[in-house]
Chain A
Amino acid sequence: MPTIHTDPPTLYAERSDWADVTPQAQYENVNPLAPIFYTEEYKDATDYFRAIVKSGEMSERVLELTENIIRQNPAHYTAWQYRYKTLLTIKAPLDVELRLMDELAVKHLKTYQVWHHRRLLLTETRKPVPELAFIARSLKADEKNYHTWSYRQWLLAYFNDDELWDGELEFVERMLKGDIRNNSAWHHRFFIVFQSGTRKGDEDRDEVVRRELAYVKQSISQAPNNASAWNYLRGVLDHSHTPYSTLQLFVQLYTVPHSPGETAVEVIDLENPPPSKDSQLPCPAAIEFLADIYELEGGNGIPKATELWKSLANEHDTIRKKYWEYRIREALQSTGP
């Protein structure tokens, strides 16, 4: 979208410091199929850009020109690339460039180029620590932005610095505290806890698994109808080869409606935190989990699982009726005649 100025913009065609350049108009011969609706300003800037690319000029004023284009059209990938080449060639201060990128990133969070350019700058400056704060600020504007989270994961893995990793668990807990349903945060948690090697203090992997199970159960207790938390739970169990059956007592609490006249539990069972008062029960994900436990049992477990799948198909998760019917058929087939 072109920027709206209060004063009319000075076109490059009108500037004396660009008088030495002959602007190159768009292709002359071909009638494009879907012509862009240009503003005068954008046409002027890109005409001068074409001229610069042709002559191979790399200078301060090229930085000004590419910044102009990028502000109008952040997805103009050729402008980004040429800008980067220019920055390196004229040895422009990359810290300054990063500050400019901070501003642009906020406006253009969903543009691939903004993030890739940033990665390129970081591989040059090699100062990743301040990026963590920048990323956290970015996320305030869009907490699930895919590029932002992916950039954070890249930064951590690429530099692989203890100083970077150290504050991550705390960071992700803050994000989850802000929104327990943030799937990106749950994914990031798995990434830092289980996919980044062993951090100092986490050498006891069994303890780490126990801690994570406690955390996810607490989260489920707070907000049971949260797909991310249940996916995380399964992920932890699969990763640690912990049988699903060990969660049976916990899960069962979520498969039944709240009882009328329910009073607060007197003894808090830390292993099996119950559903919060205002949560919607029964929780379909819990029913599904319990059915998986019964199915794994085999034998008498199969009819019990089937009952639960039927309740999902007919009542609790009707949109996935065909999936639940598939589960019933598969289980019957495997038990045989």
Chain B
Amino acid sequence: MSSESQLLIPLHVSYIKALGDNKDDLAYHMTTHLRMNAIYWGLTALCIMGHKEALDRQETIDFVMSCWDEDAGAFGAHPDHDAHILSTLSAIQILVTHDALDMIDVPRVAKYILSLQQPSGVFAGDSFGETDTRFIYCAVNALSLLGHLSDLDVEKTVSYIRRCKNFDGGFGARIGAESHAAQVFVCVAALAILDKLDEVDQQTLSWWLAERQLPNGGLNGRPEKLEDVCYSFWVLSSLSILNKISWIDSEKLTSFILSAQESENGGIADRPGDMPDVFHTHFGVAGLSLLGYPGLADLDPVYCMPADLIVSKGLRKSWKALERRTE
């Protein structure tokens, strides 16, 4: 591992491409339950780096379709896995990115998603009932991409998010749970899609988010915890949606993300010196895009997808990233 001052795009592209080879890698992203997510992370990172073609389009679409769970009417993470809202969102995001949404039975998938809403307004991940504000975001994002957002009971959904708001302005995984940057992101982004950002205590939350930055430039997920590259996305995107991204010391965060790169075979890790994985590669690149790193495409922080794609679907919400630097 070495400290870099440049984003090693060609290396990261080949790193992501190599995920298609039979290579022993971190169980974390190579296990089947994350496969659909992993493809979405890899593909989106490639789009932002300007190398969408590095993963074969048809192979990708075929894989997505092989995960269709006919009983549920939605997508599992892998061909033998039951449908789940996490993999369903990733599947939809991949198909939208490849302009292949017509491959699926859109109303049926929308129906599956809506069926996961609980009486309290939260969403379950699947028929087994684990609930988490992450799943609210998955549902809202997916329904929006499918063009079925109007089927959602917005007040019911928002009322649950509202009850997840903590004394520090942040949001947790469920009512009563601690504020955590990733959960803040999912709640804020869901509210953004629903045009309900007035539910957020913007001053307090923006300050709480700005406080995630540590002296080394990295961001953590809650007070007194370690920095991690993925928070570059969860925190930055939330701040970008709240139009406060300038509160982060951009230079220091950029250095931090770049120093977490693996300079031999590519990929980005959670922090400098650790093994890379596609999850952190994606969120590191996403963070750099929001920070205006030169040579990257714009990322929509609400949907965590290429910005021009979201604009073309008429879904852009008000958010502000840093100006793209020329060099």
| Chain A positions near chain B (C-beta within 8 angstroms) | 1, 26-27, 29-37, 46, 50, 73, 75-78, 80-81, 84, 112-113, 116, 119-120, 144, 146, 149-150, 153-154, 157, 181-184, 187-188, 190-191, 194-195, 226-228, 231-232, 234-235, 238-239, 319-323, 326
Distance in Å from the Cβ of A42 to the closest Cβ of chain B? 10
Q: What residue in chain B is nearest A238 (Cβ atoms)?
A: B167
Q: What residue in chain B is nearest A190 (Cβ atoms)?
A: B167
15 additional A-B pairs beyond A116-B129, A150-B173, A234-B167, beta carbons within 8 Å, are A32-B35, A33-B19, A33-B35, A33-B59, A36-B31, A37-B25, A78-B81, A113-B130, A144-B224, A144-B225, A157-B176, A183-B178, A190-B166, A322-B249, A326-B246
B166 contacts A187, C-beta separation under 8 Å: yes
- Contact partner, B39, options A33, A113, A326, Cβ 8 Å: A33
* Stretch in B205-213, B228-236, B294-302 with 4+ CB within 8 Å of A: B205-213
Cα distance A113–B33 in the bound complex, in angstroms: 11
Cα distance A203–B210 in the bound complex, in angstroms: 37
Q: List A contacts of B247 (CB < 8 A).
A: 320, 322-323, 326
A235 contacts B32, C-beta separation under 8 Å: no
Decide if B60 is an interface residue (CB 8 Å cutoff).
yes
Cα distance A205–B266 in the bound complex, in angstroms: 57
B177 contacts A153, C-beta separation under 8 Å: yes
Distance in Å from the Cβ of B14 to the closest Cβ of chain A? 14
| Chain B positions near chain A (C-beta within 8 angstroms) | 19-20, 22-25, 27, 30-35, 38-39, 55, 59-60, 62-63, 66, 76, 78-82, 84, 126-130, 132, 166-168, 172-180, 207-208, 210-211, 213-215, 217, 222-225, 246-249, 252
Q: List A contacts of B166 (CB < 8 A).
A: 187, 190
Distance in Å from the Cβ of A333 to the closest Cβ of chain B? 14
Cα distance A319–B217 in the bound complex, in angstroms: 8
B174 contacts A35, C-beta separation under 8 Å: no
- List the count of A-B residue pairs having beta carbons below 8 Å apart: 156
A183 contacts B35, C-beta separation under 8 Å: no
Cα distance A214–B223 in the bound complex, in angstroms: 22
Cα distance A239–B127 in the bound complex, in angstroms: 37
Cα distance A228–B220 in the bound complex, in angstroms: 14
- Contact partner, B176, options A1, A32, A153, Cβ 8 Å: A153
A77 contacts B84, C-beta separation under 8 Å: yes
Q: List A contacts of B179 (CB < 8 A).
A: 187
User: A34 and B35 in contact (CB under 8 A), knowing A120-B129, A191-B176, A321-B249?
Assistant: yes
Cα distance A75–B174 in the bound complex, in angstroms: 20
